[in-house]
Each structure stands twice: as C-alpha cells, then as structure tokens.
Structure 1
C-alpha cells in the first residue's frame, strides 16, 4: 500500500471552503506521497477525521510555467478529475504562501489553468473548453452529442444535458430547485450504466437570463453546498439551449459563483470566493 502523508506523525493542514464546498488542503510540494484511498476517507470523515467534501494535495508543478499542481480526493477516498471550487482554494493558498502573485498558472489532474486574483479578493480560474461528445464525457449508448438526452429511471424518463468539464456531468433543468428530487434521482443517475465513470448530477432552475439556481449531487460525496465544475456544466448546457446568457450568476446553497463562456470554442471562466477557515494538525 502506498504510504500516506502524516501516517506516522502529525499532519499539518489548512481547512478552506469555496461557497461552502469545503476542503482539507495538504502541502505535498516536498514530494511526500499522496494519500491512499483509506487514509483520504479517514481524513475526510466528519466525525473521526477533520471533515471535508474533498482533500486537495498541492504538489510540484508538472508543466514548465505552472507554479504548482494539485490533485483532488473525494470524501470516499476516490480521486476526482476536476474541482472548480478546489482550484480557487489552491490558488488562494498559493498566493498566501507567497508562491504566486495575481496572475499565474496551475496544473490540475486534467490540464493547465490560468488564474487571476480579482480586485474584491475572489479568484477567477479558466476551466477549459467543455466537451459534449458522449465518448469524451463518458456517456454510453449515444453516438453523437445531443442538446438533450432521455434516460429511463425506475419507470420515469429523465431529460438531461451532459458535458465533461474534466469530469462527467449530467444537468437536469427543473422548475423549482428547492423541490428537486436530488437525493433520489442523483444516485440513480450515478449508478446507471450510461455513466460508466458515474457523474456529478446537477439540478438547475433558470431564474432569469443572467441567473440560475443549482444543487449538485457529486460523485464520491453526495449533495454539496457548492460544486464549481457543476456550476460550469449547468451554465454551458443551458447556454447552448439559449436559456441563459453567456455571463451568469449561479446561486448554490453555500453561496454564489459566476460563470462566463463567451463562445462555444472558448474556455469557461469560473469566479468566486476562496475562504480560509483554520489551520491545524491531525494526529492519525
């Protein structure tokens, strides 16, 4: 089994959140091995560990111009391909550490991302170009991208959009997000064979042309207070349908994010807060 950081000693960490999506941040730039799944799930446990939705490990850069790289571990110990709220928290951590200034690049598990610290203290992260082809999501059983898909789930047909933001997303438009069947439909979508790598399932309500409300049932976590990549996914799916404009506010249970997508072949930019909660040591 791969050794884990702090397995035989106290583990220093930062607790952070982005609009309520909370993280334990570990500095592994000294090439300390990343957590194995069992260690990660213990650390993320809200009763017996520190508690978080995801663990973020900050590691040496993989590309020439990046200041650092990061990886993401879900609360159940599985690894994640992307996390928009986590990217902003990593950015804020690096700025506070002195490793980065107002404009810089960071490496995620899926690519290189430009970061900007905004005047109000928020961070904007370029999240890449969304991918809609079913094979790239991945979404099984469909040969070509569609604006809307239909999937039978326990006797009902669920209509959804699908996209990859570096991780798979299903987006279901609802009339009232507060009444959305998140806890029932979310797991059913994730377990369906059409999503061979599971999916983050978003339930989006269009408030007006520049504002949507969103709840997300995440892979390896369950419903979270905010999901950055889920906000991007919901926005681009609804933008392609003409339901909203190209610059929108995303209201989530834990706060508000902003998503901009100027053109279909452009990168999506996610903006929002990155908040330090406390510093600590965990004695595993």
Structure 2
C-alpha cells in the first residue's frame, strides 16, 4: 500500500474486515454497529483497489439503522429492520442496492454473531432501495428484491425498447430496455454467445438516453430453447456503473430476466436461471404483498477471508 493510500485509511487503522462474494461478485465487509467509523469515498476506493488494497467490486458496512438518516426513515415503516446495509461501489460512489451483496451482508451478520438466522427463517434489513426480506435456505439465501418497473414505461409499452447501447466489440448499436430494481439497469438481448464473448465491457457502454444517475448494462443471450423443465434460461455479462465488468450482478440478473420475460410475451415462465461468469443465480417472479409483482433472487454467499486494516 502506498503512503498516500495509508494516509487515506489512517482513521480506519485497527478495524477488522472480512472479504466475501456471491457468485464472484466480491465485497469488503466492515462491522460498524454504532456508526463509530464513518467511511468516505476515498477510503472505499483504496480498500476496493485490487492492486493496492483488499480488492472488491464494492464495500458493505453493517450499521444499526437507528444511526443513519436513511435507516431511521425505514424503521418508521419496519421497526424490525435493525440493520442497514451501507453499500458503496468500488469507486467509492454510493449505491442503492446490490442483490449479491445483500446475501453476503446477511451471511456476514450471522458470522459476526450480530444476528441469528436458522434455515427457513427470514431477516428484515434496510437498504437505500428500501426494506428487503432475506430468507436462509439450505444452499444460500433468497431475497425478496421488491417490485421491478420500467424506467421509461410509455416507451417500453409502445415499442418494447426504449434506448440504444453502443459497446466496443459489437459492430452496431443495439436496442435495449431500461428496468429499475431500485437501481437502474439497461438490458440488451444478443443472438449468439459469440457476440456476448466479443463485447468489451472494461469501459462503460454508451447508453442513449442515459438514466440520470447512470446505469448498469446487461448483455443477455437467451438459451435455445428458452424454457427447459418450466424455467427460463439465460446467460449474462454485466458492466456495473462505478465498478466495470463484474462476475455477477444480482439486481442485474433480476432486470435481465424481467426484460427477456417481457419480450417473450404471454406464457413466459416465472422461474429463471441466470448463468453469469461467477456461477448461477435463480430469479422468481411472484405477486407481492403490495399488489405489485415482486422479484425473488436466490443464490449462495461465501466469506473467504478476514483481517485487520493496518
């Protein structure tokens, strides 16, 4: 670590951390129950740097909701949401939500002894995308990600696409559909896996129109046949805003499944398997308690290391 990096992290010296991932989407995790160690964007970027820091697609800080303004607002709606997932992208920018990150976050809370959660039990937590309910299963965690919606509903209804994406490696711009999962996504369908491999996602794709806070961009190839044993199957790569290409994106998998399901039309299944470079996640659409269609994301969560910031 360079002298300048050490200076940025000086206030965090001696703080314990863990490293975890959900299907390859990896995070630095900090337990700060009483908000005693607020962290700025520069420190996040240093910790997430893969060459001079710990390395990660993002950083997650576990804070009791009562200590953060966003958390206190959610406690008024859900008093049981004791814990808030303070999530930052790898460049230090604040993000609303991360579907893989929320599973790893709950796994981290359990490992730290901050919560108890038996198989089949659920936990309510706060995020900047609202309240999320996570259920522990025998092979990971299932998250009610809440409702999905079109970012540009009038355009989506009129022509099934609402934007155009240009990315290095593909010769012509591609039509896309913009979907919100509490954070913004732009989904592009490709015909062949060879096209998916050709897309160069190190640099951010150009999206027009670009959502006001930027967007994550998913490139998706539907399987042939699309539906097998009652489930839809797709393969996906993603460029996450503020990070670059990642091995997986949970909210992106939900958005990709929602877009392909919408394009497939009447009779498309509610259950989807999404293959990403880091593994497989499952997406399910179901009627939510608020009368809107919700999305459930399920998959594994793994902690791989722990240490102390020096």
TM-score w.r.t. structure 2 length?
A: 0.81
User: Equivalents in 2 of 1:93, 1:153: separation in Å?
Assistant: 38
CA RMSD of aligned residues (A): 2.4
Query: Is 1:151 the equivalent of 2:164?
Result: yes
Contact 1:189 1:199 in 2 (8 A): no
Match of 1:130 in 2: 148
Match of 1:205 in 2: 221
Contact 2:12 2:37 in 1 (8 A): no
Q: Which moved more, 1:243-252 or 1:50-59?
A: 243-252
Contact 1:170 1:199 in 2 (8 A): yes
How many Å apart are 1:75 and its aligned residue? 1.1
Query: Is 1:214 the equivalent of 2:231?
Result: no
Match of 1:183 in 2: 200
For residue 138 of structure 2, give the secondary structure of its aligned residue in structure 1. coil
Unaligned runs of 5+ in 1: 136-142
Match of 2:176 in 1: 160
Q: 1:6 to 1:70 in 2, by over 3 A?
A: farther
Within a 5 Å distance, the mapping from 1:41-120 to structure 2 comes to 41-61=45-65, 62=71, 63=75, 64-98=79-113, 99-101=115-117, 102-120=121-139
Contact 2:165 2:205 in 1 (8 A): no
Q: 1:232 to 1:196 in 2, by over 3 A?
A: same
Contact 1:58 1:70 in 2 (8 A): yes
Among candidates 252, 276, 280, match of residue 256 of structure 1: 280
Unaligned runs of 5+ in 2: 1-6, 66-70
For residue 146 of structure 2, give the secondary structure of its aligned residue in structure 1. coil
Q: 1:185 to 1:29 in 2, by over 3 A?
A: closer
Report Cα offsets for 1:168-222 as digits up to 9, x if no partner.
Answer: 10000012245325326962325x5532211100011111222111100100111
User: Equivalents in 1 of 2:194, 2:111: separation in Å?
Assistant: 37
Match of 2:270 in 1: 246
User: Equivalents in 2 of 1:213, 1:229: separation in Å?
Assistant: 15
Higher helix proportion: 2
How many Å apart are 1:245 and its aligned residue? 1.7
For residue 239 of structure 1, give the secondary structure of its aligned residue in structure 2. helix
User: Equivalents in 1 of 2:219, 2:204: separation in Å?
Assistant: 13
Among candidates 250, 262, 270, match of residue 228 of structure 1: 250
User: Equivalents in 2 of 1:228, 1:78: separation in Å?
Assistant: 18
User: Equivalents in 1 of 2:262, 2:51: separation in Å?
Assistant: 42
How many Å apart are 1:110 and its aligned residue? 1.2
User: Equivalents in 2 of 1:213, 1:183: separation in Å?
Assistant: 16
Contact 1:20 1:225 in 2 (8 A): yes
For residue 183 of structure 1, give the secondary structure of its aligned residue in structure 2. coil
TM-score w.r.t. structure 1 length?
A: 0.88
Q: Which moved more, 1:236-245 or 1:166-175?
A: 236-245
How many Å apart are 1:21 and its aligned residue? 0.4
Among candidates 34, 37, 40, match of residue 41 of structure 2: 37
Q: May I ask how many residue pairs the two structures share in their alignment?
A: 272
Contact 1:17 1:276 in 2 (8 A): yes
How many Å apart are 1:79 and its aligned residue? 1.1
Query: Is 1:275 the equivalent of 2:307?
Result: no
For residue 81 of structure 1, give the secondary structure of its aligned residue in structure 2. coil
Contact 1:4 1:36 in 2 (8 A): no
Q: Which moved more, 1:98-107 or 1:212-221?
A: 98-107
User: Equivalents in 2 of 1:69, 1:8: separation in Å?
Assistant: 20
In terms of Rg, which structure is larger?
Answer: 2
For residue 268 of structure 1, give the secondary structure of its aligned residue in structure 2. strand
